[in-house]
């Protein structure tokens, strides 16, 4: 192994091959549930250096785990516990290479932090719309490799829809330059779409060309209360009819989810949660003016009140107030961390089935495990729920997970399947769901995925055991 480390050091510089010291930040998953151990951490500074690392590892038969911001929630970006894998961090590849305002595109390196990219584009009056609670740490490469979603998917699509071109280092260490900014290019199989969402199992994304939009003239946020999931779905339909593409975000938050934010972050002053089963956060953007946007938005909320769809609503009076409302929504994950270990279910369902799914699954869960606490929230506009489970009050979360995690997952995922949903909406599969996937994915699709993996990475050196279980 020393020969490989020597070779890596001579390819990318000794300072960028870490073998000693505290590597915990690279080796531990974001939720703190699992820690692996790497042979070394490499931090290449260019695409050519990534290619050199991959070639050296391929020659030595050593597998590679790519890592961006390490904010993934399905244990895909940390090494296993063998101490034999090379962890490749894209941290140093963080440049915005080129913004093309006329083509409305940006070309950016994979390790660029999402918020940094958003800011660079905003400085030129342009919008890169992908928006996640983790945007201060997650990277463009991680977003594309997981096909991340977030809170603007309703209007702009997920990471896949925002990507026009990729630069990838293949499992053999070749560089594919597919950094096109073309909106139309039907010249064969779509390699870009294959790498997007492949979670580092087919190659390493080193750069991307992404779509931009003009910054909207106005943006308004409202917080409304509803008595049920049915009412939230009705409100979504009404807002879509009235606002069309102006409806850029539609999030639903259950009472217990908000109670956790209130409990752990009392300074945030969560509005209107105590007397309502659910709160909804709506965002409306408008290309005319703030007044125009407000008029249309208030009209929707008035109609919703008149038809008893919502019971109350506040429209943020300023950008700062809107940010506060979004901050509350984005703090649910951290409030869950404060409450203790929990079980995540990042699921999607046809919007028409969501209310029945929630009612039925909630009931079955409560019957199977009395006292279980459901943290139900998510991107309702995309049919994506975070249907998370917290241990009953007073029960040790670690013991609870050890005893019930498998049974709860089976119960929830069986219900998702019965309602024709997916067991991963936006976080991916990683190693957390790799063994579960074969129970829920079409067998022909799985067989095709295995053949693609075999064709592109015959040595199984790119993030093995992620997405597809180890054979
Ligand atoms: P990492 O965690 O480092 O890696 C994720 C996966 O991508 C791993 O399999 C890794 O091997 C692979 N990978 C990383 N970089 C590359 C590369 N350059 N080439 C090939 N493979 C690579 N996700 C959502 O979709 N929507 C949300 O709203 C959302 N909110 C979140 C909120 C919080 C508080 C947190 C902690 C996470 C949230 N996430 C969300 C999950 C996570 O932030 C996303 O999956 C994000 O896209 C991961 O980016 P990253 O750079 O941290 O990737
Ligand atoms: C969100 O939408 C993220 O906030 C995280 O996808 C969801 O914590 C979760 O389960
Ligand atoms: Zn989410």
Give pLDDT tens digits for 400-448: 999 999 999 999 999 999 999 999 999 999 999 999 999 999 999 999 9
Helix axes 332-339, 319-330, angle to 10 degrees: 40
Distance 55 CA to ligand 2 centre (A): 36
As for ligand 1, residues whose beta carbon falls within 6 Å of it are 30, 65-73, 76-77, 90, 110, 132-134, 138-139, 141-143, 145-146, 148-150, 199-200, 204-205, 333, 426-427, 430, 463, 466
* pLDDT tens per residue, range 256-311: 999 999 999 999 999 999 999 999 999 999 888 888 889 999 999 999 999 999 99
Domain 96-214 has CATH 3.40.50.2000: no
Query: Would you say residue 74 has pLDDT above 90?
Result: yes
* pLDDT tens per residue, range 160-178: 999 999 999 999 999 999 9
Q: What is the mean pLDDT of residues 371-391?
A: 98
Ligand nearest to the CA of 71: 1
Query: Rounded to an integer, what distance in angstroms lies between the CA atom of residue 442 and that of residue 438?
Result: 8
* Sequence-ordered list of residues with C-beta below 8 angstroms from that of 69, at least 6 positions apart, any chain: 113, 134, 137, 138, 139, 142
Q: Which CATH class is domain 341-418?
A: alpha beta
Query: Rounded to an integer, what distance in angstroms lies between the CA atom of residue 366 and that of residue 371?
Result: 7
Distance 386 CA to ligand 3 centre (A): 7
Ligand 1, pocket-test mutation among 80, 138, 468, most atoms within 8 A of CB: 138
Ligand 1, pocket-test mutation among 27, 36, 38, 67, most atoms within 8 A of CB: 67
Nearest-CA residue for atom 43 of ligand 1: 71
pLDDT given for residue 292 in this prediction: 87
Q: Which atom of ligand 2 is nearest to the CA of 149?
A: 6
* pLDDT tens per residue, range 393-404: 999 999 999 999
Q: Does the reported pTM lie above 0.75?
A: yes
Within the chain, what is the greatest distance between any pair of CA atoms?
73
* pLDDT tens per residue, range 217-235: 999 999 999 999 999 999 9
Domains 96-214 and 341-418 share a fold: no
Ligand 1, pocket-test mutation among 31, 53, 63, 66, most atoms within 8 A of CB: 66
Query: Rounded to an integer, what distance in angstroms lies between the CA atom of residue 339 and that of residue 196?
Result: 34
Ligand nearest to the CA of 343: 2
Domain boundaries, the chain: 2-89, 96-214, 218-333, 341-418
Nearest-CA residue for atom 6 of ligand 2: 150
Q: To the nearest whole percent, how much of the chain has pLDDT over 90?
A: 97
As for ligand 2, residues whose beta carbon falls within 6 Å of it are 133, 330, 333, 344, 346, 386, 388
CATH code matching the domain that covers 2-89, chosen among 3.40.50.1220, 3.30.43.10, 3.40.50.2300, 1.10.760.10: 3.30.43.10
pLDDT given for residue 290 in this prediction: 87
Ligand 2, pocket-test mutation among 29, 75, 130, 132, most atoms within 8 A of CB: 132
Radius of gyration, CA atoms only, the chain: 23
pLDDT given for residue 20 in this prediction: 87
Query: Rounded to an integer, what distance in angstroms lies between the CA atom of residue 180 and that of residue 166?
Result: 7
Q: Which atom of ligand 1 is nearest to the CA of 334?
A: 34
Q: Which atom of ligand 2 is nearest to the CA of 346?
A: 10
Q: Which atom of ligand 1 is nearest to the CA of 137?
A: 52
* pLDDT tens per residue, range 110-162: 999 999 999 999 999 999 999 999 999 999 999 999 999 999 999 999 999 99
Three-class SS of the chain: CHHHHHHHHHHHCHHHEECCCCCHHHHECCCCCCECCEEEEECCCCHHHHHHHHHHHHHHCCCEEEECCCCCCCCCCCCCCCCCEEEEECCCCCCEEEEECCCCEEEEECCCEHHHHHHHHHCCCEECCCECCCCCCCEHHHHHHHCCCECCHHHHCCHHHHEEEEEEEECCCCEEEECCCCCCCCCCCCHHHHHCCCCCCCEEEEEEEEECEECCCEEEEEEEEECCHHHHHHHHHHHHHHHHHHEEEEEEEEHHHHHHHHHHCHHHCCCCCCCCCEEEEEEEEECCCHHHHHHHHHHHHHHHHHCCCCCEEEECCCHHHHHHHHHHHHCHHHHHHHHCCEECCEEECCHHHHHHHHHHHHHHHHHHCCCCEEEEEEEHHHCEEEEEEECCCCCCHHHHHHHHHHHHHHHHHHHHHHCCCECCCCCCCCCCCCCCHHHHCCHHHHHHHHHHHHHHCCCCCECCCCCCCCC
Nearest-CA residue for atom 4 of ligand 2: 330
pLDDT given for residue 263 in this prediction: 98
Query: Would you say residue 471 has pLDDT above 80?
Result: no
Nearest-CA residue for atom 36 of ligand 1: 71
The chain-wide mean pLDDT, for the chain, equals 97
CATH code matching the domain that covers 218-333, chosen among 3.90.380.10, 3.40.50.1370, 3.40.50.1110, 3.30.70.2190: 3.30.70.2190
Query: Would you say residue 1 has pLDDT above 70?
Result: no
* Sequence-ordered list of residues with C-beta below 8 angstroms from that of 233, at least 6 positions apart, any chain: 351, 352, 354, 355, 380
* pLDDT tens per residue, range 30-72: 999 999 999 999 999 999 999 999 999 999 999 999 999 999 9
| C-alpha distances out from residue 332 to 106, 309, 326, 388, Å | 31, 24, 11, 11
* pLDDT tens per residue, range 11-36: 999 999 999 888 999 999 999 999 99
| Among candidate residues 379, 90, 359, 404, the one with its CA nearest the CA of residue 228 | 359
């Amino acid at each position: 192994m020393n020969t490989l480390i020597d070779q890596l050091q001579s390819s990318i510089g000794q300072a960028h091959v870490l073998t000693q010291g505290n590597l915990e930040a690279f080796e531990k998953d974001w939720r703190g549930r699992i820690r692996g151990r790497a042979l070394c951490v490499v931090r290449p500074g260019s695409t050519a250096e990534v290619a050199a690392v991959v070639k050296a590892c391929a020659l030595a038969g050593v597998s590679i785990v790519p890592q961006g911001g390490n904010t993934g929630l399905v244990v895909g970006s940390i090494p296993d516990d063998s101490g034999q894998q090379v962890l490749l961090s894209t941290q140093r590849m963080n440049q915005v290479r080129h913004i093309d305002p006329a083509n409305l595109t940006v070309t950016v390196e994979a390790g660029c932090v999402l918020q940094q990219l958003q800011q660079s584009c905003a400085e030129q009056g342009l919008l890169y719309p992908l928006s996640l609670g983790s945007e201060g740490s997650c990277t463009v490469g991680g977003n594309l490799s997981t096909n991340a979603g977030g809170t603007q998917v309703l209007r702009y699509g997920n990471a896949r829809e925002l990507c026009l071109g990729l630069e990838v280092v293949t499992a053999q260490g070749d560089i594919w330059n597919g950094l096109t900014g073309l909106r139309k290019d039907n010249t064969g199989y779509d390699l870009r779409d294959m790498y997007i969402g492949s979670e580092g199992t087919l190659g390493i994304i080193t750069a991307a060309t992404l779509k931009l939009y003009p910054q909207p003239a106005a943006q308004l946020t409202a917080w409304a209360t509803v008595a049920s999931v049915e009412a939230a779905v009705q409100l979504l339909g009404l807002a879509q009819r009235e606002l069309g593409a102006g409806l850029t975000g539609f999030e639903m938050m259950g009472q217990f989810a908000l109670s956790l934010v209130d409990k752990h972050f009392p300074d945030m002053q969560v509005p209107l949660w105590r007397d309502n089963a659910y709160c909804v956060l709506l965002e409306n953007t408008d290309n005319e003016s703030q007044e125009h946007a407000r008029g249309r938005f208030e009209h929707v909320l008035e109609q919703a009140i008149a038809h008893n769809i919502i019971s109350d609503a506040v429209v943020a009076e300023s950008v700062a107030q809107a940010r506060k409302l979004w901050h509350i929504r984005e703090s649910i994950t951290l409030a869950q961390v404060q409450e203790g270990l929990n079980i995540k279910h990042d699921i999607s369902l046809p919007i028409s089935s969501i209310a029945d799914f929630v009612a039925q699954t909630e009931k079955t869960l409560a019957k199977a495990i009395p006292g279980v606490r459901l943290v139900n929230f998510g991107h309702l506009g995309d049919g994506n729920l975070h249907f998370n489970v917290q241990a009953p009050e007073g029960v040790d979360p670690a013991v609870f997970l050890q005893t019930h995690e498998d049974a709860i997952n089976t119960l929830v995922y069986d219900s998702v399947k019965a309602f024709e949903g997916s067991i991963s909406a936006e976080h991916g599969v990683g190693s957390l769901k790799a063994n579960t996937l074969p129970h829920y994915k079409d067998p022909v699709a799985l067989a095709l995925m295995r053949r693609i993996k075999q064709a592109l990475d015959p040595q199984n050196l790119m993030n093995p055991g992620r997405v597809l279980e180890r054979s």
